C-alpha cells in the first residue's frame, strides 16, 4: 500500500500507466495492420477471380465445370446437329468417381452426355430407339473441348 502511494506521489504510476496504454495501442495497431493486410489480399484475390472466365474461376477453386458453348442443328436434316461442350479436369474426375470411364476425357464426357440426353428423352416419353436417327460423331477440339454431332 505504501508502495502504491509512493508511485502515485512521485508520478511513477502515471508513467507506468502511460507505458501500459502505449503497449496496448501498439498491439492494437499491429492487429489492425494485420487485418487491413488480410482484407487487401482478399480483395486482390477477389479482383483476380473476377477477371477469370467461369471455367478458369472454377478450376482455380478446384471445382468441376461443364457448359454448353454452342448448339448447332443441321438445317437440311433436323435430326442431326451437335453440341459444343467445354469442361475442366475436375469435371472429368467427378465423372470418373461416378463410374464413367474411357480412354480419353472426351470419351468420358461423351458417355455422360449420352446418358444425360437419354435420361431427358426418357423423362419426356421420347422413344429411345435410335434407328433412323443418324449417328454420333465426337470431334476433339483440344483444350478440354469437344464437338459432338
Residue 31 is predicted with a pLDDT of: 93
**Which stretches in the chain have pLDDT values below 50?**
none
Q: Using CA atoms of 115, 119, 125, 126 in order, give the dihedral in degrees to the nearest 10.
A: -20
Give the residue extent of every domain in the chain. 2-51, 54-148
Residue 143 is predicted with a pLDDT of: 73
Predicted TM-score of the model (pTM): 0.58
Task: Spell out the SS3 assignment of the chain.
Answer: CHHHHHHHHHCHHHHHHHHHHHHHHHHHHHHHHHHHHHHHHHHHHHHHHHHCCHHHHHHHCCCCCEEEEEEEECCCCCCCEEEEEEECHHHHHHHHHCCCCCCCHHHHHHHHHHHHHHHHHHHCCCCCCCCCCCCCCEEEEECCEEEEC
In sequence order, what are the beta bridge partners of 86? 67, 145
Residue 2 is predicted with a pLDDT of: 75
In this structure, the chain runs to a length of: 149
- Residue 114: CA count within 13 A, CB half-sphere: 15
Nearest to 65 by CA among 87, 33, 40, 96: 87
Residue 128 is predicted with a pLDDT of: 66
Amino acid at each position: 500500500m505504501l508502495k502504491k502511494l509512493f508511485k502515485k506521489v512521485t508520478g511513477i504510476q502515471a508513467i507506468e500507466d502511460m507505458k501500459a496504454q502505449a503497449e496496448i495501442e501498439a498491439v492494437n495497431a499491429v492487429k489492425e495492420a494485420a487485418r487491413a493486410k488480410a482484407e487487401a489480399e482478399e480483395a486482390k484475390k477477389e479482383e483476380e477471380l473476377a477477371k477469370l472466365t467461369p471455367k478458369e474461376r472454377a478450376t482455380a477453386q478446384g471445382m468441376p465445370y461443364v457448359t454448353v458453348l454452342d448448339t448447332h442443328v443441321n438445317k437440311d436434316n433436323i435430326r442431326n446437329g451437335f453440341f459444343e461442350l467445354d469442361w475442366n479436369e475436375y469435371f472429368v474426375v467427378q465423372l470418373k468417381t461416378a463410374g464413367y470411364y474411357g480412354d480419353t476425357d472426351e470419351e468420358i464426357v461423351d458417355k455422360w452426355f449420352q446418358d444425360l440426353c437419354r435420361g431427358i428423352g426418357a423423362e419426356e416419353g421420347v422413344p429411345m430407339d435410335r434407328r433412323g436417327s443418324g449417328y454420333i460423331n465426337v470431334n476433339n477440339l483440344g483444350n478440354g473441348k469437344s464437338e459432338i454431332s
